[in-house]
Amino acid sequence: MIRHLLADDDLTPAEQSAVLDLAARMKADRFGFTPLAGPRSVAVLFDKQSLRTRISFDAGIAELGGHPLVVDTQVTHFGRGETLADAGRVLSRYVAAIVLRTHGDDRIAEVASHAGVPVINALTDGYHPCQLLADLLTVREHCGGTAGRTLAYVGDAANNLSHSYLLAGATAGMHVRVAGPAGFQPDPGVLDRAGKIAAGTGGSVRALVDPVEAVRDADVVATDTWTSMGQEDDGLDRITPFLPYQVNAALLGHAGPDVKVLHCLPAHRDEEITSEVLDGPHSVVFDQAENRLHAQKALLTFLLEASSS
């Protein structure tokens, strides 16, 4: 059976843990794993902008001995002159895996349902599971583990990062609190899925409005842009309702004394997070960014292996 990662809960707790273990080994022995030697190619397709995802997949596939094919879909027929189903079928004849950043989750589901190789979500409107593997690796490194730790995500609780924190955090046995203004709360279906996962891992999930309640005594505080890609012209006020959710020294004062701060980047400095916090002693954002590389190498290796057995 071909294994995909379309949303965070496509990995069981044991599988997520195995991917993170492998990522740590790959980080410690950066050029010691070459499962794509041949080289086998991987298509990395972008319907939206990217810096980290694009470069970390490109470098990571090369480090695994493979050949990255990084493509902006605007210069192709992908999903426009050609159906996503046909594109998925064709690409599967060329490459070992497909990595896709796109808009609606229906688009990546359509590609995956017609692909004969693993499909990896490199960010959709609904989820950002590659980011979460990097974040969890970072939490492991800085907090000594994930199970039982409290992670607070504050800001746009309706966005892809919020959903991924709920699902992947619950899978890792964390206590996840997401807080956002009314109208920017998580999808109830995602919250329900995350709650069911948490019941089996010893974690918990809560959706809150009060940012102070969310970050109180937290081990990890995370945030993200208030305006995700594709939302620039949605007509909503994406500044005023979010001002109380800015990650600044005052809000961080309610968290645990050794709190770690995450931001997936790119950061809008002095909007969702102050430069003082981003560049301050609690911030681990550049370790987090580096860990995209290691986590994605491990994920690719895991999915290829799992799909061939």
State yes or no: residue 228 binds ligand NVA (CB under 6 A). yes
Nearest approach in angstroms of CB 197 to ligand CP is: 23
Q: How far apart are CA 179 and CA 194, in angstroms?
A: 15
State yes or no: residue 264 binds ligand CP (CB under 6 A). yes
| DSSP state for residue 268 in the 8-state scheme | -
- Stretch of 110-118, 159-167, 215-223, 278-286 contacting ligand NVA, by CB under 6 A: 159-167
| DSSP state for residue 40 in the 8-state scheme | P
- CB-CB contact of 221 with 138 (8 Å): no
Query: Known binder of ligand: residue 129?
Result: yes
State yes or no: residue 265 binds ligand CP (CB under 6 A). yes
The reply to whether 264 belongs to the active site is: yes
State yes or no: residue 160 binds ligand NVA (CB under 6 A). yes
User: Residue 228 touches which of ligand CP, ligand NVA, none (CB < 5 to 8 A by kind)?
Assistant: ligand NVA
Q: Which of 224, 246, 263, 296 is catalytic?
A: 224
The reply to whether 292 belongs to the active site is: yes
Binding to ligand NVA (CB under 6 A): which residues in 90-119?
A: none
Q: Tell the burial category of 78 from Cβ atoms under 10 Å away from its Cβ (0-12, 13-18, 19+).
A: buried
Query: Known binder of ligand: residue 246?
Result: no
- CB-CB contact of 255 with 247 (8 Å): no
State yes or no: residue 123 binds ligand CP (CB under 6 A). yes
User: Residue 224 touches which of ligand CP, ligand NVA, none (CB < 5 to 8 A by kind)?
Assistant: ligand NVA
Residue-wise DSSP of 123-190? --SS--HHHHHHHHHHHHHHHS-STT-EEEEES-TTSHHHHHHHHHHHHTT-EEEEE--TT-PPPHHH
CB atoms within 10 A of CB 268: 12
Binding mask 12-51 for ligand CP (x = CB under 6 A): --------------------------------------xx
- CB-CB contact of 153 with 162 (8 Å): yes
- Closest residue to ligand NVA, based on beta-carbon distance: 228
Query: Known binder of ligand: residue 101?
Result: yes
User: Residue 51 touches which of ligand CP, ligand NVA, none (CB < 5 to 8 A by kind)?
Assistant: ligand CP
- CB-CB contact of 175 with 203 (8 Å): yes
* Element spanning 97, H or E: strand 97-101
Q: How far apart are CA 16 and CA 308, in angstroms?
A: 18
- Which of 53, 225, 291, 301 binds ligand CP (CB under 6 A)? It is 53
State yes or no: residue 271 binds ligand NVA (CB under 6 A). no
Q: Which of 3, 54, 128, 177 is catalytic?
A: 128
What are the C-alpha distances in Å from 97 to residues 115, 118, 172? Answer: 9, 5, 25
Total chain residues near ligand NVA (CB under 6 A): 9
Query: Known binder of ligand: residue 131?
Result: yes
State yes or no: residue 228 binds ligand CP (CB under 6 A). no
- Stretch of 65-73, 202-210, 259-267, 271-279 contacting ligand CP, by CB under 6 A: 259-267
Find how far residue 229's CA is from the centre of its chain: 15
Q: Which positions ≥6 away from 288 have C-beta within 8 Å?
A: 134, 135, 138, 262, 263, 264, 265
Residues that bind ligand NVA (CB under 6 A): 123, 159-161, 224-225, 228-229, 264
Catalytic annotation, residues: 101, 128, 131, 224, 264, 292
Instruction: Tell me the binding residues for carbamoyl phosphate.
Output: 101, 128-131, 264-265, 292
